[in-house]
């Protein structure tokens, strides 16, 4: 399947992978996005030159990977996309939610490959840190996945700064191959990674893949007039989106909406342009419940908006994260 390139392509960290900016997130596939709608989302993404597809073994309990696997070879050839997934497992023990043991990770990878209907993924990411398993054991699983050819490159996701640095240092020293990426939540409403994760990634040469670049939907401005009652009744909405529906977020959203009005673009275009052009960012991952929502984000990206310096400075100031000792020195 051939596409006309509209969105830019960027190198992922120090790897040989070239990926589209943005990438397509599939966390809603199999839950609020049905298989037929997922196929339409993929077609829309491919039509603007998209190549990076990001999923995880826990998305919809594996259903996201199954849907994506069913579309490889039908909607698009496997060779025309950069396929990324994640593994860490979910335990029912409230005291330990992750399982990054050697055996579990490799078994999870094999299950992912079966669901995705492929013999390898281009990027395999450790979805979360597991304090109960020595990092050496976790990264031995990464080494095995790389040496066996089931994984081309590896990265981490939701790691803190010191965890990212420690994992990257081990892989660069005695690992099968260096890590190439770190995925983390990053937007005008969530800039915490700038304190330690971004510097750690830059030092290790890792590409940054921001998830939730639209502040879990809040930066679109659609909640400025209030939240629909049916959404307020949703426990998932209160947990996921409600995190960014507070007094701290309000002035940030208002600044985005004001900037968008002045530039004649939708608010999401401003929010995406801001995170896309942050230091170290390779590709924000955009996801949507519907193909209509996805097309809005893709249209905003295709405009290739460059924020004027005065607008960028205003957004930086109103959304600035707290920084103090030791990040700022003594």
Which sequence positions are flagged as catalytic?
A: 59
Q: Is 256 helix (H, G, I), strand (E, B) or coil?
A: helix
User: Cα 270 to the chain's mean position, in Å?
Assistant: 18
Tokens of 37: 């709608």
Q: Is 20 helix (H, G, I), strand (E, B) or coil?
A: strand
**Residue pair 59/27 in contact by the 8 Å Cβ criterion:** yes
Calculate ∠ Cα 188-190-194, nearest 5°: 95
Cα-Cα-Cα-Cα dihedral of 163, 55, 211, 235, to 10°?
-100
Cα gap 324→182, rounded to integer Å? 24
Angstrom distances, CA of residue 319 to CA of 204, 239, 265: 26, 21, 20
DSSP state of 107: H
Please choose, from the candidates 293, 161, 162, the residue with its C-alpha nearest in 3D space to the C-alpha of residue 217.
293
**Residue pair 133/167 in contact by the 8 Å Cβ criterion:** no
**Residue pair 241/228 in contact by the 8 Å Cβ criterion:** no
Tokens of 119: 């013999």
Tokens of 126: 């450790």
Give the DSSP H or E segment for 309: helix 309-319
**Residues facing residue 33 across a β-bridge:** 29
Cα gap 5→180, rounded to integer Å? 24
Cα gap 30→130, rounded to integer Å? 26
């Amino acid at each position: 399947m051939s596409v006309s390139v509209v969105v830019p392509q960027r190198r992922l960290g120090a790897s040989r992978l070239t990926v589209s900016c943005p990438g397509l997130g599939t966390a809603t596939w199999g839950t609020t996005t049905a298989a037929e709608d997922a196929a339409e989302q993929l077609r829309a993404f491919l039509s603007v030159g998209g190549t990076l597809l990001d999923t995880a073994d826990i998305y919809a309990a594996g259903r996201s990977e199954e849907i994506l696997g069913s579309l490889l070879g039908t909607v698009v050839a496997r060779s025309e996309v950069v396929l990324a997934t994640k593994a860490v497992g979910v335990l029912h023990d409230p005291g330990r939610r992750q399982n990054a043991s050697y055996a579990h990770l490799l078994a999870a990878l094999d299950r992912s490959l079966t669901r995705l209907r492929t013999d390898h993924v281009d990027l395999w990411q450790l979805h979360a840190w597991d304090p109960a398993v020595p990092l050496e054991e976790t990264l031995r699983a990464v080494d095995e996945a790389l040496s066996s050819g089931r994984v081309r490159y590896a990265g981490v996701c939701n790691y803190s700064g010191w965890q990212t640095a420690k994992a990257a240092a081990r892989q660069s020293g005695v690992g099968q191959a260096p890590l190439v990426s770190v995925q983390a939540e990053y937007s005008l409403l969530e800039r915490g990674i700038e304190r330690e994760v971004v510097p750690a990634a830059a030092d290790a040469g890792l590409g940054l893949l921001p998830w939730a670049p639209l502040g879990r939907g809040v930066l679109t401005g659609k909640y400025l007039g209030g939240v629909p009652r049916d959404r307020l009744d949703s426990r998932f909405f209160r947990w996921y989106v409600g995190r960014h529906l507070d007094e701290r977020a309000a002035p940030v959203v208002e600044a985005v909406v004001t900037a968008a009005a002045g530039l004649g673009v939708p608010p999401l275009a401003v929010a995406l342009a801001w995170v896309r052009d942050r230091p170290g960012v390779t590709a924000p991952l955009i996801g949507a419940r519907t193909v209509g929502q996805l097309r809005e984000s893709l249209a905003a990206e295709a405009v290739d908006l460059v924020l004027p310096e005065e607008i960028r400075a205003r957004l930086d100031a109103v959304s600035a994260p707290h920084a103090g000792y030791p990040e700022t020195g003594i």
